[in-house]
Structure 1
Amino acid sequence: MSRTRFTAIVAATAAALLLSACGTTENTAAPEASASLAGPVTVTDSRGKAISLKSPATKVVGLEWGEVEMLVSLGVMPVGVADPKGYGTWVTAAKLDPGVKDVGTRGEPSVDSVVALQPDLVVMEDDGTATLVNQLEKYVPVLVTKGSDAKDNLGRMRNDLNMIAKATGKTAEAEKLLADFDVALADGKKKIADAGAAGRPFAIADGWKEGSTVSIRMFGQGALVSQLGIQLGLTNAWTGKTDEAWGLGQTDVEGLTVLKDPNLHFFYNASDDTDVFADGLAGNAIWKSLPFVQQGHLHRMPNGIWTFGGPLSGKQYIDQLVKTYTV
């Protein structure tokens, strides 16, 4: 599976966001340079807790890959990351330096390894428990992001990025990232409309195999990458039950028979080269009968496009969706 802690968008119009962003990025270099040297800074995290720092954090540990991507894209190379090898496999939008320390797995990071790095700040997602946060906060400030919210995942992504940017003195960089992201969305939507593909259906999934059984995880309306497609003017064809946090649901190959539209394109990731769709279902009669398989509308995403990332991974997804619907 592409995410170990599964048991665990929608913002204002692109035009309005672009106007807002353009008005805030022209003269930020000097203030931001001084802000990075100043302090203190206080950030309210997803728990509603005020995190106070003597100055913007420069030595940061990231415990989830979406937040790690955000840190790197802001110009803050973490000193420690949970499973940096896995990050290198699944995330190519913002690459880590070779010297970044491994602090354990994302599901179970090592508190000792984190504390040994003497960071100014630890950034992690809300995992539904307070155990790890309480352990870490004995030694270091912890900023807890929301990580996902199927009610508004694009808005949540923006909020998480801005929260991290404020804590690290990188607000100008965040404004630039979001402005570029909004341009990509607006440009992609126009290209799809110009190609006559507005409203066309899509579905996004990943999967895993246990024995001879293939389980499929579908990305519903509120999943982050689904929201990208919707904002581009496309229609998510998967309407099955999903969870409230991630917008993810589970099915099997029989469940995919509801995807009947011959214009539907089906996207999936297999960055670790475990391709259950090409390998696990190759001989399955139901799979071979599905319209998107017969039409050749099955798309394995290029390796390293993270489905739970920040603006840079989002732009990678946008590029692939636009490319598919404008050929």
Structure 2
Amino acid sequence: MLGRRAFLGGFGLALAGPARARAQGSGVTGPAARRVACLDLLLTETLLTLGVTPAAVGNIPLYQRLVAEPVLPDGVPDLGPLQEPNLELLQQLRPDLILAPSWAEVGSNDIERIAPVAWLPTFSTQKPALEHARSLLAQVAAMTGRDAEAQAWSARADAALAEARQALAPFADRPVYVVRFMEDGRHAAIFGGNGMIGDVLARLGLTNAWTGRTNVWGTTSIGIEQLAGNPEARLIHFNRGAETDRALRQLAGSPLWQALPAVRQGRVIETPVVYPNGGLSSAARFAGQLARAVPAHEAARG
């Protein structure tokens, strides 16, 4: 993967000092880390959920555009692209701990010459996304001395899901598609499987109209015509600003789009974007948005 190559080659000569102890996930021991750098969007969200301001983050503009909440405080240093972090800056910042995605780990990595690294899995093929996110929150909490915050946030997420499920109970009669439209007006990213979006839908008592295959993050690309597969479904899409505006302009002139049952019968619902590979914070926000948007849309339809 690109991230693996970027983490390895060419940086060794720029780094000073002996290699430090590697941190292996929840096996990290010692005092709670106070200065924690993050090289992944989900890990950054997880750290902020616990109330910890990162010492540095990879690709801050990407976090602000795709994740947005919890809000990243001003002044956090930006390490640049997630696949090619600025390791010289990272060394200068002297973090106590670096959180990095396990898929990027290859042997003795140069970032381990800067600080202990917790290589954490950002997805699971063995369990639903929310269970994985809860486990990840607990792992990061153990490393940063935030166990109480993790327990409180876990309970908060459960409460948000329960409240949303109750609000959506009258609307569980129809399945739902959840998509993000591509700018070409012919394709969409659709969400299902064990990913965060699909898992939240299941916990809210909603049937996911998409039953096809997805990748490990619970998404796949489809043609717009495939949204006719379940003619009874509501169609929920994420608004990503200018990108979505361009997509909708393309769709407006598409006969395929106009022929979709959800479009003809006024069952298209727009919601603010959430990070589809996010953690408990993103999951709770998505649930709350559905609990507001679906009833409001149905009330407006009369």
TM-score by length of 2: 0.83
Q: 1:295 to 1:73 in 2, by over 3 A?
A: same
Q: 1:255 — aligned with what?
A: 226
Q: 2:135 aligns with which of 156, 159, 174?
A: 159
Q: 1:110 — aligned with what?
A: 86
Identity %: 28
Q: 1:274 — aligned with what?
A: 243
Contact 2:130 2:196 in 1 (8 A): yes
Q: 2:69 aligns with which of 78, 81, 93?
A: 93
Q: Which amino acid aligns with 2:171?
A: A
Q: 1:217 — aligned with what?
A: 189
Q: CA deviation at 1:201?
A: 0.9
Q: CA deviation at 1:277?
A: 3.7
Q: CA deviation at 1:186?
A: 1.4
In structure 1, distance between residues paired with 2:158 and 2:280: 9
Contact 1:74 1:165 in 2 (8 A): yes
Q: CA deviation at 1:43?
A: 7.5
1:283 aligns with 2:250: no
In structure 1, distance between residues paired with 2:236 and 2:82: 25
Q: CA deviation at 1:141?
A: 1.1
Deviations 1:49-80 (A, max 9, x none): 8333x311111111112211111121110011
1:313 aligns with 2:282: yes
Structure 2 SS opposite 1:266: strand
In proportion to residue count, which structure has more helix? 2
Contact 1:216 1:250 in 2 (8 A): yes
Structure 2 SS opposite 1:157: helix
Contact 1:89 1:272 in 2 (8 A): no
Q: Which amino acid aligns with 1:139?
A: I
Deviations 1:128-150 (A, max 9, x none): x4249712112211112221225
Contact 1:181 1:315 in 2 (8 A): yes
Q: 1:130 aligns with which of 101, 105, 125?
A: 105
Structure 1 SS opposite 2:171: coil
Deviations 1:72-111 (A, max 9, x none): 1211100111111222222232111111011011233232
1:176-215 correspondence runs (5 A): 176-193=152-169, 196-209=170-183, 214-215=186-187
Q: Tell me the matched-pair count.
A: 275
Q: 1:101 to 1:123 in 2, by over 3 A?
A: same
Structure 1 SS opposite 2:187: strand
Q: 2:263 — aligned with what?
A: 293
Gap runs ≥5 in structure 1 = 6-41
